[in-house]
Structure 1
Amino acid sequence: MLARLSSDVRQYLLITGNYWAFTLTDGALRTLVLLHFHELGYSPLQVALLFLFYEIFGVITNLVGGWLGARIGLNRTMNIGLAMQVAALSMLLVPAALLTVPWVMAAQAFSGIAKDLNKMSAKSSIKLLVPADQQGTLFRWVAALTGSKNALKGIGFFLGGALLTVIGFKAAVAAMAAALAGVLILSLALLKRDLGKAKAKPKFRDILSKSRAINLLSAARMFLFGARDVWFVVALPVFLAQSLGWDFWQVGSFLAAWIIGYGIVQSVAPILLVGRSGTAPRGREAFGWAAVLAVVPAAMAMLLARQYPPQDVLLIGLALFGVLFAINSALHSYLIVSYAQADGVSLDVGFYYMANALGRLLGTVLSGWVFQSFGLGACLWVSAALVLLAATVSSALPRSLESVQIEHG
C-alpha cells in the first residue's frame, strides 16, 4: 500500500512516525522523572530545576538547529535528535547513587536538545511537501502532525506513570532507550536525503529572524506556552499528589487524558476554525482566541479562592483550558509554517520554536517558585496575565499571507 503513495506522502508518514516515536518517550520520561524524584522527597522547586536545562537547551537548540537544518538537511537534524534522546535515556541507567541533581539536569539537557531538533525538523519538513498555493492542505497537515504528536505525548504521560508503578524507574528507561534505538535505525535507512537543505548556505547571523510577522508570532507563542507551563508542569501534578492524595496511576492517567484530548482538538482545529471550506485562518484570529483563553485560568483562580471544591474546579477548568489552548496552539503552528520562507524554512521555524522553548522555560521556573511560595491559585493568575500578553501581541499580526510574502520580498 505504501508503494502506491506519492513520494511526498510517504515522506510525510515517515516524518510523522519518527516524531510519534520520539514524542512517546519524551512524555513518558517527563512523568518518570517528575514523579520519581518527587517520591524521593524533592521539593517542587527542586523538581522544576531538574527540567531547567531541558528548557534552556531547548531555547539554544531551536535557534542554532534551524540554521543547522538549512545547512546539512532536516533528515540529519531529525536523526541527530533521535540519537541524542537515546543517549539521554542511557544516562539515567547509572546506579541510583549517581543520579544526583547535576547528573539528571545534564541528561535533561541532552533530552531538551534532542526534542527540539526532532520537532523543528518535523515541522519544517511539512512546508516543503505542500505546494505554496494549497494553504488549506498545509493547515490540515500541520494540525494532524501537531495534534497526533500531543495525543501521543499524553499516552507517554500515562505510560510513564504506569511503568514507574509496574517495573520501576530504571527498567522503564532501559525499555524506552532500546525502542528508540530501533526507530533511529529505520529513520537512517528510509528518510530522504538533503530534505530542507537551503540552496544558498545560510550564514550564522541569519538565525535571527528579520520578519516582523515571525517576530510577533514568536513573542505571542512565548507568552502562550509560558501561560500553560506556569501551572501545568510542576504545580498541577504536585498539587494532585500532595493536596488531593492522588497516586502515580491517577496523576499519570489524568495528565495523559488531558494531553490526548488536547491533541485530538488540535487535529480537528481546521474543521473548528474554517469548516470544510479548504481555506486557512488569518493572523488576526489569533488575538480573539487568546483573549477567550485568558478568561479560563482567571475564573479557576477565583473559584479556588472562594473555596469551591478544588478537584471539580481543576477537572472542569482543565477541560475548557485544553480545548481553547489547543485551538490557539494549532493556529500558531499553521501560521509559522505559512509565514516561513520555503528556502531555508528551518531558519524561521527554528527561531519561532526558540521562543516556544523560552516560554516553556519561563513557565517551568515560575511553576515551581510561584507554587511553592504562593500556591496553585497564584499560578493561575500568572497564567491569565501571560495569555493576555499573547493576545495583545497577536493583535498586531498581519491581516493576510500576501503582506508577509511582500515583506519577505
Structure 2
Amino acid sequence: MLAKLQALPSAVKQYLVVTGNYWAFTLTDGALRMLVVLYFHQLGFDPLSIAMLFFFYELFGVVTNLVGGYLGAKIGLNRTMNIGLGLQVFALAMLLVPTSWLTIVWVMIAQALSGIAKDLNKMSAKSSIKLLVPDDAQGKLYQWVAILTGSKNTLKGVGFFLGGVLLTCFGFQLAILIMAVALALVWVLSLVLLKQDLGKATTKPKFSQLFSKSRAINYLSGARMFLFGARDVWFVVALPVFLASQFDWDHWYVGGFMALWVIGYGIVQSFAPHFTGKKQGKVPDGKAAFIWAALLAGIPALIALSLSYEVAIETALIGGLMLFGVVFAINSSLHSYLIVSYADGDGVSLDVGFYYMANAMGRLIGTVLSGWLFGSYGLVVCLWVSAIFVVMAALLSLSLPRHTHSEV
C-alpha cells in the first residue's frame, strides 16, 4: 500500500493531503458544534444564549474568507491551511478550562477562532485543487471539486453523530481533549507533507485586490450569497424548532434527522457531475447554473403552499426537504466547480476567498432571518423568502459565461 502511494503522481499525493486535512478538520468542526449545543443545553443555557455562541463563528467567516484569500496569495495555501488547523487545535484547547470559566463570552471567542480556522481551511482546500489540475482537464477538476465538497458535508453530518457519542461516552472535556490531540497529529503531518508555496502568487498581491474585478466571479458570488441564504433562512432555526414544536419530535430525533440530511446532501454533491452532463463529456456553465437554480426555486414555494392549505403537512415538509436537499446539493457543487474554474491561476485564493466571503454572508443573513422571520411570522414566510432568494440566484446566473468544455 505504501509503495502504491509513493508511486502516485505528485499532484494526486498533494490532493490526498489536502483532502485528508479537510476531512479531519470537518469531523472536529461538526462534532464541536454538536458538543457545544448539547453540553450547554445540559448546563441550562437558554436557546438564545446557545445561538449567540455561534454568532461570531458565522460573522468571522465573512471577514476570514475575504482576508484569507489575500493571505493565501501572499504566503501560500499550505501556510493558510496549516494556520487553520493550528487555530482549531487552539480553539479546542480553550474549552479545556474549568467549567466555571466556560462563560458565554469565553465560548464565543473560542467559536470565533474556530470559525476563522474553518474558513481558512476551506478556502485553502478549494483553492489548492485549481493548482493541482491542468487547465485543459476541466472534467477532472469538476470531479475533484465535487468529491471534496460532497465528502466535506457528509463528514460534517458524521461529525454531528461523533459529537453526541463522544459526549455520552467521555463527557465534555475528555471529548474535547481527544479531538484536540487527534487534530494536532493531523496538523503535524500536514506541516511535513504539504507542498511549500502552494498557491503563492508570482507577483505581490495588493490589498485592493481583495474585491474581485471579474464580472463572472462577481455574479457567481452574488448568486452564491442568495443560494445559501435561501437554505439557511428556513433550515438553521425555523425547521428544527418547527419539527420539535409541531411534530413533537424529541431533540435526539431532530438532531439525528438533520445529521442524516447533511450526510445525504454531501453524498449527492459528490455525484453531482453525473447529473450535469458528465455522460455527454461536458462540464456545467452559466446556463446550467440558471436551470438548476430555477428548478430549486419551486420547491420551497410548493412546501409553503402545502403548509398554508394544510395539505399533507408532514409528508410535504419531509419529502420537500429531501427533494430540496438533492437539488440544492447539485446547485452547490456546480457553483463550487465554477468558482474554481473561473478563478485566476495566479493568486487563485483571492478569487476563491471573495466568493466564499459571499457564501458566508449568505449563511449569516439566512441564519439571522431564520430566527427573526420564524419567530415573527412562522415557517411559511421563511419558505417564501427562500423561494425569492433562489429566484435571485437564478437571475444572477443568467449573466454567467456560457461555454462547453469536453471532459479530459
Q: What is the DSSP-based 3-state SS (H/G/I as helix, E as strand, rest coil) of the residue aligned with 1:271?
A: helix
Q: Which residue of 2 aligns with 1:151?
A: 154
Task: State whether structure 2 residue 245 is matched by structure 1 residue 238.
Answer: no
Q: Is 2:201 the counterpart of 1:203?
A: no
- Per-residue CA deviations over 1:245-272 (Å, capped at 9, x if unaligned) read 4344323321221111111111111111
- Unpaired runs of 5+ residues, structure 1, are 403-409
Provide closer, same or farther for how the CA distance between residues 374 and 99 of structure 1 changes in structure 2, counting only shifts above 3 A: farther
TM-score, normalised with respect to structure 1? 0.93
Residue in structure 2 matched with residue 397 of structure 1 by the alignment: 400
How far apart, CA to CA, are the structure 2 residues paired with 1:344 and 1:385? Answer: 34
Are residues 140 and 7 of structure 1, via their aligned partners in 2, closer, same or farther at CA, if it must alter by over 3 Å?
same
How far apart are the structure 1 equivalents of 2:62 and 2:348?
18
- Listed one character per residue, the Cα deviations across residues 32-65 of structure 1 (whole Å, up to 9, x for unaligned) are 2234444555554443322211111111011010
Secondary structure, in 3 states, of the residue corresponding to 2:216? helix
Q: Provide the residue aligned with 1:34 in structure 2.
A: 37
Q: Does 1:179 align with 2:182?
A: yes
Q: How far does residue 183 in structure 1 lie from its aligned partner after superposition?
A: 0.8
Q: Does 1:102 align with 2:105?
A: yes
Work out the CA distance in 2 between the residues paired with 1:398 and 1:118: 28
User: For 1:175 and 1:233, how far apart are their aligned partners in 2?
Assistant: 28
Give the percent of matched residue pairs that are identical in Structure 1 and Structure 2. 68
Write the letter of the residue equivalent to 2:103: T
The structural deviation recorded for 1:361 is 0.8
Whether 2:335 is the aligned partner of 1:332: answer yes
Gaps of 5+ in 2: none
| 2-structure distance, mates of 1:174, 1:143 | 32
The residue that corresponds to 1:20 in the other structure is 23
Q: Is the 8 A contact 1:223 1:389 kept in 2?
A: yes
Give the C-alpha shift of residue 321 in structure 1: 0.6
TM-aligned CA deviation for residue 401 of structure 1: 7.7
One-letter code of the match for 1:292?
A: L
Closer, same or farther in 2 for the Cα pair 1:301/1:35, shift >3 Å?
A: farther
Q: 1:51-66 to 2 correspondence within 5 Å?
A: 51-66=54-69
Among 281, 286, 290, which residue is 1:283 paired with? 286
Q: Across the two proteins, how many residue pairs are aligned to each other?
A: 402
| 1:320 partner amino acid | L
Q: Does 1:306 align with 2:283?
A: no
Task: Measure, in 2, the Cα distance between the counterparts of 1:42 and 1:296.
Answer: 35
Please give the per-residue CA displacement for 1:304-350, whole angstroms capped at 9, x wherever unaligned. Answer: 23334554333211110110000000110000000000000000000
- Which whole-Å CA distance do the structure 2 matches of 1:221 and 1:110 have between them? 24
Report the TM-score, using the length of structure 2 for normalisation: 0.93
> What is the aligned partner in structure 2 of residue 112 from structure 1?
115
- Structure 1 vs Structure 2 CA RMSD: 1.9
Partner letter of residue 237 of structure 1? P
Name whichever of 225-234 and 245-254 sits farther off: 245-254
**Structure 1 residues 389 and 119: alpha-carbon distance in aligned structure 2, compared to 1, 3 A threshold:** same
Q: Verify the 8 A CA contact 2:296 2:327 in the aligned structure 1.
A: yes
